[in-house]
Structure 1
Amino acid sequence: MDAYPDAWPYPRPDSPPLLSPEQAEHTLDVWLVPKFSMLTLFCMLEPLRVANRFGRDLFAWRLRSADGNGVVASNGVRLEVDGDLASVPDDAHLMVVSSYEAEATVTAQDRAVLRRVAAYGGWLGGLDTAPFILARAGVLEGHQVALHWESVPAFRREFPHLRVSRERFASDGCRQTGAGGTTGIDMMLERIERDYGPALADAVGRQLVHHRHDAPPRDEHQEHFAGLPRSVVKSLAVMEANLAQALPIPEICRLAGQSQRQLTRLFLAHFGETPKHCYLGMRLDRAQRLLAGSHCRVTEAATATGFTYLAHFSRAYRARFDEAPSETAARGSG
């Protein structure tokens, strides 16, 4: 008998190892600088790959080099890439990965690409020694910076006006920098938690057999994860990964490896509500955050949380928050 009877089919075993940008919700462009750290690259990408296995196509990535040719890492392994740096979109999410001799091959044209992405409001990140490249391009002004501890003294001497964090990574608006190595796992888990919720981040960390070093303080709901049945935690992760495209409850049960009757019993015992009502509440809570924290319109919030009919969304929203979504949106705009 299988020692782990509920380990399959969750996460889904048929998930492709690599998604195209057309398939995924988010695409990360990764600029590999010669002699980059292979460990840093893999630790950054693996959480994104694992997240795709939880019922949804969330992340894709494209490897880039300055000239579009393959790049040799610090361990001597050569990786082929998907394109050159110059073809990065203006609004890209671009991560720079470097290690030894970070500036040896970087040109003025390369730094111009970083400034272009910054000017168009794109997201920029750097791991290991890459913050040197970003800082010399002038795109870290006003942002907190984290980098490998060996590089901190030299960085402070060259950029005394920039704020250097003592943490392993720093997430500062549309900039994210870190020390490299296994720090990439924690950086990506934080991103997954921010975009899709703590249950999905926790499930991805478990799949990677990784204990998060930089996890934010847990609220009361998150503290209960450790005591919840595995199928409940799995169900919550699948729900959080599918807020924009609501899945039928039977499909969630299939991905969680649990019958609908048993999962309903567990949800009622732990949360006092059915999986359907819990899922609806998660989607509505996400809609409220969108409306309250941005200039998002009501129709956009409804679509982003899987509601096909605006009237249904408005009724459910009012029942949960005792106000119309348009009222929340008005405060968010203000």
Structure 2
Amino acid sequence: MTSPDTPEWLYPRPDLPPVLSPAQADVTVNLWLLPKFSMLTLYCLLEPLRVANRFGRALFAWRLYSSDGEPVVASNGVRVDVEAALNQAPIYDNLFVVASYEPEAAAGAAQWAVLRQVAAHGGLLAGLETGAFILARAGLMEGYEVALHWESRPAFIEEFPMLALSEARYRFDRQRLTGGGGASSLDLMMAFIEREQGANLVAAISRQLVHSRPAAMPDAGRNGSVDERGRFVLTAEPAPGDFRPRSVRRAEAIMEANLAQPLPIPEICRRVGQSQRQLNRLFQRYAGETAKGRYLSLRLDRAYQILADSRASVTQAGLAAGFLQPAHFSRAYRARFGESPSTTAGRGR
């Protein structure tokens, strides 16, 4: 490894280096792409590696794999070619699981065996967005903290209540690296490069990408954060770009914090200091539905996240979203999503 004081980290080569083979690079980063993965996440993982190679040395190569060796279609519809099927590659040192929607649809015993192989050799396992679900189902996250996208937390808590969740946007815990995906993947990859090559190189990459690394980046939700039990906690300030009235923001935050045991709308009105008529008027203006309708939408969205991302049953998802009567849950769910809860659950599995 190059000394942290090496001057070569100061100035990049003017020419772009060729894509390196594993034989040419110090480190090969292996990425397993699951169907409907986030293209933004993939770009944020690869661009720092490409820029790192401009600083005078052949540092990083990368290889893309799919479950079956066929090209993978990202969530934005872009088709990405891969090197090979995951179980056909000799991977031992690191493996990044890049997943988003319906992560388990293309994951099975053959792929879990590769994950366990990497773990057995002491390699690094990384889970981006819902990639952490795959690592957890393979039994490889016990004793490690997990960082997730805030939308995925309810489903993860429902299925893996004994695993510890971090409120950070990404978490480097020994030989496990997890994160919420999207733009936070850039900082996650910077942490990986720093471990491999030192902080000075990361500083140089940041300058090239015109990117500032924050000291701490908590995993915030829409108007607050999530506590250790996955409950929404209201913060005093609105999220950037949220220009809704404070009473609407506070009411929605209270709804978010009470999805499993819904509160009566008059109680929410009392807590935010608005009449029900006035609160409904504000919700109609800023959310396009009444306060009651918005509450129902949030509960159904929670059920959808649990069914799509976990192995929870339809009954469990309904209860987690505050539906005590299965028939009522099914009717409301179909009206919102155009399909039954069991259909969503089956597709996710």
Q: Give the 3 Å change call, closer, same or farther, for CA 69–145 of structure 1 in structure 2.
A: same
Match of 1:265 in 2: none
Give the Å deviation of 1:172.
0.9
Match status 1:110 vs 2:116: no
CA deviation map 1:61-114 (0-9, x unaligned) = 000001111000000000000111002325231000011111122122211221
Q: Which amino acid aligns with 2:195?
A: R
Residue segments in structure 2 that go unaligned for 5+ positions in a row: 1-9, 218-349
Match of 2:21 in 1: 20
* Aligned partner of residue 96 in structure 1, secondary structure: strand
Shift in Å, 1:215: 6.2
Partner amino acid, structure 2, of 1:163: A
CA offset at residue 161 of structure 1? 1.1
Distance 1:192 1:108 in 2: 30
Letter in 2 for 1:120: H
2:133 equivalent in structure 1: 132
SS at match of 1:29: strand
Give the Cα–Cα distance (whole angstroms) in 2 for the partners of residues 183 and 131 of structure 1: 15
CA distance in 2, matches of 1:177, 1:17: 29
Equivalent residue pairs, number: 208
The C-alpha deviation readout for 1:8-28, integer Å capped at 9, x for no partner, is x94102242411111110001
- Residues 319-334 of structure 1: matches in 2 within 5 Å? none
* Post-superposition offset of 1:214: 4.4
Q: CA deviation at 1:193?
A: 2.2
Aligned-residue Cα RMSD (Å) equals 1.7
Aligned counterpart, 2:305: none
Aligned partners of 1:26 and 1:214: how far apart in 2? 26
Q: How far off is 1:199 after superposition? A: 1.9
**Conserved 8 A contact 1:131-1:145:** yes
Q: State whether residues 124 and 176 of structure 2, in contact with CA within 8 Å, keep that contact through their aligned partners in structure 1.
A: yes
Structure 2 CA distance, aligned partners of 1:42 and 1:215?
A: 22
SS for the counterpart of 1:67 is: coil
Is 1:153 matched up with 2:154?
Answer: yes
For residues 18 and 89 of structure 2, what CA distance do their matches in structure 1 show? Answer: 23
Instruction: Return closer, same or farther for 1:121/1:83 CA change in 2, 3 Å cut-off.
Output: same
Contact 2:30/2:91 (8 A) holds in 1: no
Q: Residue in 1 aligned with 2:214?
A: 213
1:127 Cα deviation after fit:
0.4
- In structure 2, do the counterparts of structure 1 residues 52 and 215 end up closer, same or farther at CA, with 3 Å as the change threshold? farther
Assess, with a 3 A threshold, how the Cα gap between structure 1 residues 209 and 13 changes in structure 2: closer, same or farther.
same
| 2:135 pairs with 1:122 | no
Q: What is the rounded CA distance, in whole Å, between the counterparts of 1:214 and 1:110 in structure 2?
A: 35
- Contact 1:43 1:185 (C-alpha < 8 Å) held by counterparts: yes
Equivalences for residues 169-180 of structure 1 within 5 A: 169-180=170-181
Deviation at 1:60, TM superposition (A): 0.7
The answer to whether the 8 Å contact 1:66/1:86 transfers is yes
Distance, in Å, in 2 between the alignment partners of 1:143 and 1:137 is 13
1:182 counterpart letter in structure 2: A
Normalising by structure 2, we get a TM-score of: 0.57
Structure 2 matches for 1:133-282, cutoff 5 A?
Answer: 133-214=134-215
Deviates more, 1:39-48 or 1:107-116: 107-116
Distance 2:48 2:132 in 1: 22
1:90/1:122 contact within 8 Å kept: no
Residues 285-296 of structure 1 aligned to structure 2 (within 5 Å): none
Distance of 2:47 and 2:104 partners within structure 1: 27
* Cα distance in 2 for residues equivalent to 1:111 and 1:192: 26
In the aligned structure 1, how far is the partner of 2:193 from the partner of 2:157? 31
Deviation readout 1:233-271 (Å, 9 max, x if unpaired): xxxxxxxxxxxxxxxxxxxxxxxxxxxxxxxxxxxxxxx
Mapped to 1, the partners of 2:107 and 2:190 lie a distance apart of 29
Identity of aligned residues (%): 60
Counterpart in the other structure of 1:77: 78
Counterpart residue identity of residue 167, structure 1: A
TM-score with structure 1 setting the length: 0.60
Distance 1:25 1:136 in 2: 31
2:30 corresponds in structure 1 to: 29
Amino acid at match of 1:200: L
Q: Secondary structure in 2 aligned to 1:103?
A: helix
d(CA) in 1 for partners of 2:52, 2:151: 32
- Alpha-carbon distance in structure 2 between the residues aligned to 1:149 and 1:74: 18
The answer to whether the 8 Å contact 1:89/1:117 transfers is no
